[in-house]
């Protein structure tokens, strides 16, 4: 399967999704004005991935900031993976936050409370 890659910008995260390893990484900041438009290519790519997923799917979220409109789009991605989980692939989420950034840790817990996927909330020095 082709790899999905988007270069980061001051308002959008770098996204890497390798269909051969099942690893999806979001890194940086996600504060676009139009988040739905920004996340639409990733969603299209997920349509294909869904048909032939890797046995395990790992989502690594390494975000420094995200705006509220991105928060809905991130939830949409988790919701899609939630539906796939336990069928053709086993999904897990690693949610990273920088030491002392309790807001980002809380944001991960907020998703954990809403989505039925195994979450690991991981503290790191720097994202």
Partner 1 sequence: MFQNACIFGIPEMAITDVYDFYRKMEDEKIILSFKGEFTPDLLTSILNILETRMRTMGVERKKQKRVFNVLVECFQNLYHHIDERASDAAEVELQKSVLIMIKYAGDSFIVRTGNHLSNEVIPELRRKLAMVNALSTDELRGLYQAKLKNDQRSEKGTAGLGLIDIARKSGSKLEYEFLEIDKHSSFFCLNVVIE
Contacting residues toward partner 1, per CB under 8 A: 10-11, 31, 33-37, 64-65, 67-69, 71-72, 75, 98, 100-104, 106, 110, 113-114
Per DSSP, the three-state class of 114 is: helix
If the CB atoms of residues 37 and 48 are measured against partner 1, the closer one turns out to be 37
Q: How far is the CB of 122 from partner 1 (least distance, A)?
A: 17
Q: How far is the CB of 97 from partner 1 (least distance, A)?
A: 10
DSSP output for 21-64: TTEEEEEEEE--S-HHHHHHHHHHHHHHHHHS--SEEEEEEEEE
If the CB atoms of residues 22 and 97 are measured against partner 1, the closer one turns out to be 97
Cα(127)–Cα(83) distance, integer angstroms: 29
If the CB atoms of residues 1 and 75 are measured against partner 1, the closer one turns out to be 75
Half-sphere exposure of 6 (CA within 13 A, CB side): 23
């Amino acid at each position: 399967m082709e790899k999905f890659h988007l270069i980061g910008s001051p308002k959008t995260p770098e996204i890497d999704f390798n269909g051969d390893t099942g690893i999806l990484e979001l890194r940086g900041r996600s504060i676009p004005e139009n988040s739905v438009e920004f996340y639409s290519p990733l969603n299209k790519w997920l349509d294909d991935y869904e048909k032939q997923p890797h046995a395990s799917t790992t989502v690594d979220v390494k975000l420094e900031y995200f705006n509220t409109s991105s928060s809905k789009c991130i939830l949409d991605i988790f919701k899609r993976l939630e539906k796939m989980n336990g069928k053709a692939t086993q999904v897990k989420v690693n949610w990273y936050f920088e030491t002392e950034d309790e807001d980002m840790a809380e944001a991960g817990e907020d998703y954990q409370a809403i989505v039925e996927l195994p979450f690991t909330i991981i503290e790191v020095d720097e994202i």
